[in-house]
Structure 1
Amino acid sequence: MSNRLEGQKILFITANTGIERDELLKPLETLGGWGASVTHASIEGGTVQTFLQDTEKDRTVDSNTKLAGLSAADFDALVIPGGTVNADTLRQDSDAQALVKAFATAGKTIAAICHGPWLLIDAGVVEGKTLTSYPSVRTDLVNAKAAAWVDEAAKTCPANGWNLVTSRTPDDLPAFSEAIAKALVKA
């Protein structure tokens, strides 16, 4: 176990249902195992339903807090797990949108995987960026004036003082976690 992220505070945000289990738990456990302090916030707080895939319920996990009232100033990075239900719910949540904007304005690292970039679109932070996502989100990103969509396991895009880290699918989780760690160490 490495302590290379010791002192880093990472916020994971989700809805209360529809989260792709591995896209939440694997990076949370990996980054925590590398010494980061990890917090999981959900829209309503409390119990969160994970899915093995978009329609197959898995186990429930507890979030540490609600999204409302959180401040980007208290964290070094923001992670947005995927799952279509999770991402579609988060993109419509004003607290989630405000957090994304605050992290970008503060020059913090923002990471999103799979359908997670939908929230980035609705928060208005993708214009002029190069990123990746689940393939079906590509058209949405291009239409939102993202500079370029690439088919890579993980893509880091320095973005006006902050780092944007994106990834495609659960198969890419090791590369996603590694890219988040590298962005934090360089920040």
Structure 2
Amino acid sequence: MSDALIISTSYGTETDEIRVPLEALQEAGVTTTVASVDGRRIQTLGADRTTGPLVDSDTTLGAVAARDHDIVIIPGGTLNADELRIDPDAQRIVRDAAADGIPIAAICHGPWLLVTADLVVGKTLTSYPTLAADITNAGGSWVDEEVCVDPTNGFVLITSRTPEDLPAFTGAVLDAVA
């Protein structure tokens, strides 16, 4: 059985970018762990403005290891991604996943963490369009596509732009854990 890890802060995660993959993974029978910075429930937001539902967190980022999972998923939300990218445990998780060849999936602003963790060099990926310069400046190649799957540099990276891309993103995530 596959095991997925979703990492987040406790505030500002884009509602659909955490809930849609989480529900799809659970429906597919994938054991899914949600880890937040402090282990508290996650207050989601729609478009960084509208309060969304809470999502339960199972544990803290500090208590999880990438090697115990088959994929690491980073949802977006500007506030979530801005805080997550500077969190040492979040950086450790994605660096360890990449080093161990574990797929990483990031949507919207989620790739900011990968930029900070120095994991986009030589990779082709997509994101929310405002991250294009950050990705390019960090040594990656940015493309405007609903989903981008890049297997280079020893790990598969799955990225998408916005909540509108969730069907393609979630499909690629499910393919990665199949």
* Equivalent residue in structure 2 for 1:79, among 57, 70, 73: 73
- Deviations along 1:84-136, one digit per CA (max 9) or x if unpaired, are 00000000100000000000000000000000000000111100000000111
> What is the TM-score normalised by the length of structure 2?
0.97
Aligned partner of 1:160 in structure 2 is: 153
Superposed CA deviations along residues 163-183 of structure 1, whole A, max 9, x for unmatched, are 000000000101001111222
Taking the TM superposition and a 5 Å limit, the aligned residue runs for 1:41-60 are: 41-60=35-54
Identify which of 6, 22, 30 aligns with 1:12.
6
**How big is the shift at 1:48?**
1.1
Q: Name stretches of at least 5 consecutive residues in structure 2 with no aligned partner.
A: none
In 1, are the aligned partners of 2:95 and 2:117 still within 8 Å (CA)? yes
Name the structure 2 match of 1:170.
Answer: 163
Distance in 1 (CA, whole Å) between partners of 2:89 and 2:158 is 21
Hey, what does 1:69 align to over in structure 2? Answer: 63
Deviation at 1:160, TM superposition (A): 2.4
Q: Return the alpha-carbon distance in structure 1 between the equivalents of residues 16 and 6 of structure 2.
A: 13
Query: Which segments of structure 1 move beyond 3 Å, counting only runs of 4 or more?
Result: none
Name the residue aligned to 1:23.
17
What residue number does 2:174 align with?
A: 181
SS at match of 1:68: helix
- Show the counterpart of 1:132: 126
Q: How far 1:159 sits from its partner (Å)? A: 2.3
What is the percent sequence identity of the aligned residues?
49
User: Alignment length, in residue pairs?
Assistant: 178
> SS at the partner of 1:58?
strand
Note if 1:150 corresponds to 2:140.
no
RMSD, aligned CA: 0.9
Taking the aligned partners of 2:78 and 2:6, their CA distance within structure 1 comes to 16
TM-score of the pair, normalised by structure 1: 0.93
